[in-house]
């Protein structure tokens, strides 16, 4: 396999983890989180800050975990009294606040230059380091997928889907909506933060431009294209979007287009895919399987 292909598949695996996280929230529980990138940012900056202050690398995931749990709980707390659309806007604002602080708190986060020189995973295994990273990412994606599948097929998962479909019925049946929402947000946030830690050590760089709002909508595009509330589908969606994004620069070179084309095409692809699928096939390529097996 060429290095380029390994790179694209590695990034696809990381985004697959993010798509699973968003799917838990938006797909199964109906929580329209437009600030997912802040949860990812907890992981990215958890790893970055530990490196910047010379702490052992192993503390990165620990810091990321703490930040992610706090972020998940805070967003869930906000959702307690807000309707879906207000909450969506609130999550978007929180992600932007996080990015503004990451850009401006220079003594802590390194400001706009970010933090570079994070240790690369498996750098000792050259020339097989790329393949080793890919294997690790694929394994973690598989584990995340298993966790998500087990979760949505459990009794707890039934509660999640009931909240999505009929929140008032769920409350009447005795489901504790606030507790289920907080649990889902914390689990999803931790999954997204794991992706963030992996990505930070993959790029070996951490900066505020990783937290831009369009990145959230790229993940939304993956979930919508693959099939909202279908775990396998959203992973397929992550691969589809990443491969399309990866070949945009080649299209630019082939047709000798201006350099703005790459940035515009990325926005156009995310936005266009979301709009096209919502209008023409809102259930995505792989629709949710209703009913089916449940582990009790």
- Interface contacts to another protein, rule CB under 8 A: 30, 32, 34, 77-78, 81-90, 92-94, 96-97, 100-101, 103-104, 213-214, 217, 220-221, 224, 260-261, 263-268, 270-272, 274-275, 278-279, 282
Tokens 């790329």, residue located: 130
CB closer to another protein, 183 vs 270: 270
Query: At a CB cut-off of 8 Å and minimum separation 6, what does 81 contact?
Result: none
User: CA–CA separation, 18 vs 20, rounded Å?
Assistant: 5
Q: How far is the CB of 138 from another protein (least distance, A)?
A: 29
Q: Supply the minimum distance, in Å, between the C-beta of residue 44 and another protein.
A: 19
CB 271, min distance to another protein, A: 3
Q: Identify which of residues 199 and 217 has a Cβ nearer to another protein in the complex.
A: 217
Tell me phi and psi for residue 10, to 5 degrees.
Answer: -60, -50
Distances (CA, A) of 14 to 70, 141, 193, 201, 293: 22, 7, 11, 12, 28
Residue number with CB closer to another protein (50 or 224): 224
CA distance 216 to 293: 31
Complex with another protein: residue 55 or 105, whichever CB lies closer: 105
Query: Taking the complex as a whole, how short is the minimal distance between the CB of residue 105 and another protein, in angstroms?
Result: 10
The smaller minimum CB distance to another protein, of residues 97 and 251, is found at: 97
Q: How far apart are CA 28 and CA 160, in angstroms?
A: 6
């Amino acid at each position: 396999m060429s290095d380029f292909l390994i790179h694209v598949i590695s990034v696809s695996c990381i985004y697959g983890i993010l798509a699973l996280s968003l799917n838990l929230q938006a797909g199964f529980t109906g929580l329209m989180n437009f600030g997912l990138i802040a949860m990812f940012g907890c992981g990215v900056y958890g790893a970055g800050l530990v490196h910047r202050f010379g702490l052992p690398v192993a503390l990165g995931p620990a810091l990321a975990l703490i930040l992610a749990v706090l972020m998940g709980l805070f967003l869930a707390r906000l959702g307690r009294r807000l309707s879906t659309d207000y909450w969506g806007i609130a999550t978007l604002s929180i992600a932007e606040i996080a990015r503004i602080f990451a850009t401006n708190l220079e003594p802590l986060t390194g400001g706009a230059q970010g933090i570079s020189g994070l240790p690369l995973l498996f750098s000792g295994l050259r020339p097989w380091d790329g393949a080793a990273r890919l294997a690790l990412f694929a394994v973690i994606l598989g584990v995340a997928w298993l966790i998500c599948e087990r979760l949505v097929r459990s009794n707890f998962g039934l509660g999640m889907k009931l909240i999505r479909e009929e929140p008032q019925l769920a409350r009447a049946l005795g489901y504790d909506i606030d507790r289920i929402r907080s649990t889902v947000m914390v689990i999803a946030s931790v999954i997204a933060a794991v992706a963030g830690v992996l990505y930070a050590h993959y790029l070996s760089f951490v900066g505020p431009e990783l937290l831009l709002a369009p990145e959230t909508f790229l993940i939304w595009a993956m979930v919508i294209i693959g099939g909202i509330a279908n775990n396998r589908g959203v992973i397929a969606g992550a691969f589809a979007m990443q491969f399309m994004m990866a070949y945009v620069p080649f299209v630019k070179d082939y047709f000798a287009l201006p350099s703005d084309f790459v940035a515009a095409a990325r926005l156009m692809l995310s936005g266009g895919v979301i709009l096209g699928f919502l209008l023409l096939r809102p259930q995505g390529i792989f629709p949710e399987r209703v009913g089916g097996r449940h582990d009790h």
